[in-house]
C-alpha cells in the first residue's frame, strides 16, 4: 500500500527537495506551503502530490491541511516537521516579537502539527513523526542565542516525546543537518542588525559575520538531508537521531569529546574572536 508523508515548509530548501524525493520514490506527498498553493506550478504538476496551505503559527491552517491530506490519501504515515528559520543577532538588539516568532515557528509549530496528526495515528496504531533539528541543536555559534535555543528545544522535546508515543505505536525521530545550501543562509544574513546606540557590539558582529562567510563554501546540498529523512521514514528502527552532512558528523563528534572550556575556545579561535 502506498504510504503518505505530510511535509511542512515546502516552498523552498529542504522541504521542497524532500517532497520531490519522496514523490519520486512512489509516495503520496502532502506538500504544505505558506503562500497560495495554487501558485506553486512545480509541485502541483507532480503526481500523487497535494499542495495545501499551512502556516505553522496558525493552528487553523494546520488542522485544515491534516484533514485535507487524510481526505485525499486516506492516511498520513509520516509527519515531517521541517518548516523553520534561523534568527541570528545580538539579543539586546532583538525586539520581543522576533524572539517570540523564532520559537513560534521552530518549536511551537512542530508541537501543534504533531498534536494535529496524533489522533489519526493513535487510531491507526502506527505512524512516524520526524522533526528537523540541526547540528545547531547540539552545538552553538556566536549570535545564535535564539536559533540554537529553539533547536536545543527541538532535541529535548523530540527525545521526551518518543517515550509517550511508543505507547501508541508511533515512532519519533529527528534529523540533524549541518550547513546546507538553502535560502536559510540568506535569512541569517538579514538578522545582523545592531542598534546604533549599542556600538560596543559592532566589532564582535563584524568578526562573526566574516567567520560565517568563510564557512559558506562548506555547505552541503539539501538532497543529503532528504536522503537522511528517507532513511528515518523507512528503516523501521527505533533509532532517534540521524546526522546529515560531513560537517555535522565532525563537529557533533568533536563537541562530545570536548569539555566546555575547550569547545568554547575552539569556536572563538575559528571565528577569530
Is residue 208, in this structure, part of any structural domain at all? no
Among the options 88, 133, 134, 242, which is catalytic? Answer: 133
151 is catalytic: yes
Of 83, 71, 73, 69, the residue nearest 112 (C-alpha): 83
pLDDT in the model for residue 179: 86
Among the options 138, 151, 171, 173, which is catalytic? Answer: 151
Among the options 20, 138, 147, 201, which is catalytic? Answer: 147
Listed in sequence order, the residues at least 6 apart from 188 whose beta carbon sits closer than 8 Å to its beta carbon are 86, 88, 212
- What domain range is 230 assigned to? 4-193+219-249
pLDDT in the model for residue 199: 87
Count of domains for the chain: 1
Is residue 135, in this structure, part of any structural domain at all? yes
Phi, psi (rounded to 5 degrees) for 49: -130, 125
147 is catalytic: yes
Is residue 100, in this structure, part of any structural domain at all? yes
pLDDT in the model for residue 3: 98
**Residue-by-residue pLDDT tens, the chain, 273 positions:** 899 999 999 999 999 999 999 999 999 999 999 999 999 999 999 999 999 999 999 999 999 999 999 999 999 999 999 999 999 999 999 999 999 999 999 999 999 999 999 999 999 999 999 999 999 999 999 999 999 999 999 999 999 999 999 999 999 999 999 987 765 555 554 555 567 788 899 889 889 888 877 665 567 889 999 999 999 999 999 999 999 999 999 999 999 999 999 999 999 988 888
Is residue 226, in this structure, part of any structural domain at all? yes
Measured distance CA(131)–CA(121) in Å, rounded: 16
pLDDT in the model for residue 10: 97
Is residue 147, in this structure, part of any structural domain at all? yes
- Alpha-carbon torsion (239, 241, 245, 249), positive or negative: negative
Crossing angle of helices 246-257 and 260-271, in 10° steps, is 140
**Torsion angle, alpha carbons of 225, 230, 236, 240, to 10:** 20
pLDDT in the model for residue 183: 59
Q: What is the CATH number of the domain that holds 84?
A: 3.40.50.720
Per the document, the length of the chain is 273
Is residue 179, in this structure, part of any structural domain at all? yes
Q: Which residues pair with 49 in a beta bridge?
A: 29
> In the chain, count of helices (H) and strands (E)?
11, 7
pLDDT in the model for residue 188: 53
133 is catalytic: yes
Is residue 38, in this structure, part of any structural domain at all? yes
Measured distance CA(8)–CA(84) in Å, rounded: 9
Please, is 137 exposed, middle or buried when counting C-beta atoms within 10 Å of its C-beta (0-12, 13-18, 19+)?
A: buried
Is residue 72, in this structure, part of any structural domain at all? yes
Measured distance CA(86)–CA(106) in Å, rounded: 9
Of 234, 244, 102, the residue nearest 177 (C-alpha): 244
Residue 197 CA, distance from chain mean position: 34
Amino acid at each position: 500500500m502506498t504510504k503518505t508523508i505530510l511535509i511542512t515548509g515546502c516552498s523552498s530548501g529542504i522541504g521542497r527537495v524532500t517532497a520531490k524525493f519522496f514523490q519520486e520514490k512512489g509516495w503520496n506527498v502532502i506538500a504544505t506551503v505558506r503562500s497560495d498553493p495554487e501558485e506553486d506550478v512545480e509541485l502541483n504538476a507532480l503526481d500523487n502530490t497535494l499542495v495545501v496551505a499551512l502556516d505553522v503559527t496558525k493552528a487553523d491552517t494546520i488542522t485544515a491541511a491534516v484533514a485535507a491530506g487524510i481526505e485525499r490519501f486516506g492516511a498520513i504515515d509520516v509527519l515531517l516537521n521541517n518548516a523553520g528559520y534561523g534568527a541570528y543577532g545580538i539579543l539586546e538588539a532583538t525586539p520581543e516579537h522576533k524572539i517570540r516568532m523564532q520559537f513560534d515557528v521552530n518549536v511551537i509549530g512542530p508541537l501543534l502539527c504533531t498534536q494535529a496528526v496524533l489522533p489519526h495515528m493513535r487510531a491507526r496504531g502506527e505512524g512516524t513523526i520526524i522533526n528537523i533539528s540541526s547540528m545547531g541543536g547540539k552545538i552553538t555559534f556566536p549570535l545564535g542565542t535564539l536559533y540554537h535555543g529553539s533547536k536545543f528545544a527541538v532535541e529535548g522535546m523530540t527525545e521526551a516525546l518518543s517515550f509517550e508515543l511508543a505507547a501508541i505505536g508511533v515512532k519519533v525521530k529527528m534529523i540533524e543537518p549541518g550547513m546546507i545550501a538553502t535560502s536559510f543562509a540568506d535569512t541569517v544574513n538579514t538578522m545582523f542588525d545592531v542598534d546604533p546606540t549599542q556600538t560596543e557590539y559592532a566589532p564582535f558582529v563584524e568578526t562573526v559575520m566574516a567567520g560565517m562567510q568563510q564557512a559558506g563554501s562548506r555547505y552541503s546540498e539539501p538532497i543529503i538531508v532528504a536522503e537522511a529523512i528517507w532513511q528515518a521514514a523507512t528503516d523501521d528502527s527505533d533509532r532517534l537521531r540521524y546526522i546529515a552532512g560531513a560537517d555535522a558528523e565532525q563537529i557533533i563528534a568533536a563537541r562530545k569529546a570536548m569539555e566546555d572550556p575547550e569547545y568554547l575556545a575552539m569556536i572563538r579561535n575559528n571565528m577569530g574572536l
